[in-house]
Amino acid sequence: MPHTEEDIRAMLEKIGVQTIDDLYGDVPEEVIYREEYDIPSAMSEIELRRHFKELGDKNRQLTVFAGGGAYDHYSPSVIGHLLQRSEFYTAYTPYQPEISQGTLQYIFEYQSIIAELTGMEASNASMYDGATATAEAMFMMVASTKKKNRVLISDTVSERVQAVVKTYGKFHGVAVTVVPEKDGVSDLDAIKKELEAGDVAGIIVATPNKYGIIEDYTGFADAVHAAKGLMTVNADPSTLAVLRTPAEWGADIACGDGQTLGMPLAFGGPYLGYMATSKANLRKMPGRVVGATTDADGKRAYVLTLQAREQHIRREKATSNICSNQSLMALYATIYVALMGKEGLKEVNRLSCDGAHYLYNRLVETGKFTPAFPGKPFLKEFVMKTDLDMKRVNAHLAENGVMGGLDLGEGLVEFAVTEKRTREEIDRLITLMLEA
């Protein structure tokens, strides 16, 4: 706060009051807070740095073999440097397009990338995270199909995503029916039965699913479209460089979490929700959208468009209440994909997939682990069954600087491997687990 005593005096004089307190003369005396706040005294930069370092040292840096919605992919150095351009991070939402072409253009590039990865025709400028994006997809399906008020979600969608979808559904008044899985994959017959029961606005499935399994969604879109519903696929966007896309499965909406596009684990955020759809459903899509246009001199330019859908215009008639989203993380994803390009993204998947299969084979070799879903294809994440006491195993791993697989209970453990994991790290993981 740059004010000198002299500044304050001059400003008060201009305003015509004696003290700054006079500016609060309209506030009831009893609510003026005069006690001490329960926060520390001011810290200098030196003290602040020391405090953060002390806190940081209370975290353990682990070699991560867990996923569950957050994956330890590599973040190229360039991204951090470019994100530090303060013209990007200190900017407001680009409501003044003439001085915000930087933001608007990267959002346009981001939308192009998301559309390309998912195979869909249009993407918005980002959502909060994968779970809230999926909940918004549920609302979008209900809004698009009118008069129908029930959404099916396959039990193979991540538990965390399911939980948020259920919360949103409960309050908004959308019935969420969880369709039980069969052998780790979605059950098309059960879904068809629910569709026949009626009132279904759409279905939500995931690729890869919560067990890391790459599901075969042949026939799903046809079934739901025949029942005049829509299909949402929650997809890990990184894997879409190699796996069949939501559009190829016939989806109407693609959504998910962009954390896999090189974002640091960062204790859960900020990550990036994304959403893409077909042209037909574009105007029901929530969030900001950037479109290409030209300026008065015919120059190429970008602008926020289709704003008539949004809360600041439509208020309670808006399709969503989303306002601020995760713009800077959209820039993150854009730079990541630009650097990796189509070959790099495929290579990331190949390395993760090779490493995961190597770990899988090693685990089977120990005789202590058996595949939970034998024969089911996976990419970087998979589930094993074991009699080992995973609580003890994971505690031993943590003591040795390793985050083991996620304990799903009932003897199920979920491992994830990214391109960052080496053969030596995997071998060490096996050794540590066996000695625990």
Site for another protein in 358-387 (CB under 8 A): 358, 361, 377-379
40 touches another protein by CB under 8 A: yes
Binding-residue pattern over the window 321 to 360 for another protein, x denoting contact by CB under 8 A: xxxxxxxxx-x--xx-xxxxxxxxxxxxxxxxxxxxxx--
For 256: left if phi > 0, alpha if psi spans -120 to 50, otherwise beta; the answer is left
- Count CB neighbours of 226 within 10 A: 10
* Element (DSSP H or E) covering residue 233: strand 230-235
| Shortest reach from residue 192's CB to another protein, in Å | 21
Interface with another protein in residues 394-423 (CB under 8 A): 394-395, 398, 403, 406, 419, 422-423
139 touches another protein by CB under 8 A: yes
* Element (DSSP H or E) covering residue 370: strand 369-371
| Shortest reach from residue 193's CB to another protein, in Å | 25
Among 5, 18, 41, 367, binds another protein (CB under 8 A): 41
177 touches another protein by CB under 8 A: no
Q: Supply 309's token pair.
A: 């859908």
Among 155, 168, 253, 386, binds another protein (CB under 8 A): 168
Phi/psi for 93 (5° steps) reads -50, 135
| Shortest reach from residue 310's CB to another protein, in Å | 8
Interface with another protein in residues 205-224 (CB under 8 A): 214, 216, 218
CA distance 203 to 134: 11
Query: Helices marked H in 327-377 — which ranges?
Result: 327-366
Q: Work out the burial of residue 254: count CB atoms within 10 Å of its CB; fewer than 13 is exposed, 13-18 middle, 19 or more buried.
A: buried
CA distance 417 to 424: 13
56 touches another protein by CB under 8 A: yes
Q: How many chain residues bind another protein (CB under 8 A)?
A: 207
The DSSP bridge pattern shows strands 381-386 and 402-403 to be: unpaired
| Shortest reach from residue 430's CB to another protein, in Å | 13
Return the range that interacts with another protein (CB under 8 A); candidates 27-35, 198-206, 221-229, 364-372.
27-35
38 touches another protein by CB under 8 A: yes
248 touches another protein by CB under 8 A: yes
Q: How many residues does the chain have?
A: 436
| Shortest reach from residue 189's CB to another protein, in Å | 20
Interface with another protein in residues 282-321 (CB under 8 A): 282, 288-297, 299-301, 303, 305-308, 310-318, 320-321
| Shortest reach from residue 287's CB to another protein, in Å | 10
| Shortest reach from residue 267's CB to another protein, in Å | 4
92 touches another protein by CB under 8 A: yes
Q: Work out the burial of residue 279: count CB atoms within 10 Å of its CB; fewer than 13 is exposed, 13-18 middle, 19 or more buried.
A: exposed
Buried b vs exposed e over 162-176: b needs ≥16 C-beta within 10 Å?
bebbbebbeeeebeb
70 touches another protein by CB under 8 A: yes
101 touches another protein by CB under 8 A: yes
CA distance 276 to 285: 8
| Shortest reach from residue 98's CB to another protein, in Å | 4
253 touches another protein by CB under 8 A: no
| Shortest reach from residue 317's CB to another protein, in Å | 8
CA distance 190 to 228: 17
Among 31, 409, 410, 435, binds another protein (CB under 8 A): 31
CA distance 419 to 347: 9
Residue closer to another protein (CB basis): 181 or 376: 376
105 touches another protein by CB under 8 A: yes
Is the preceding omega at residue 237 within 30 degrees of 0, hence cis? no
Are the C-beta atoms of 241 and 346 separated by less than 8 Å?
A: yes
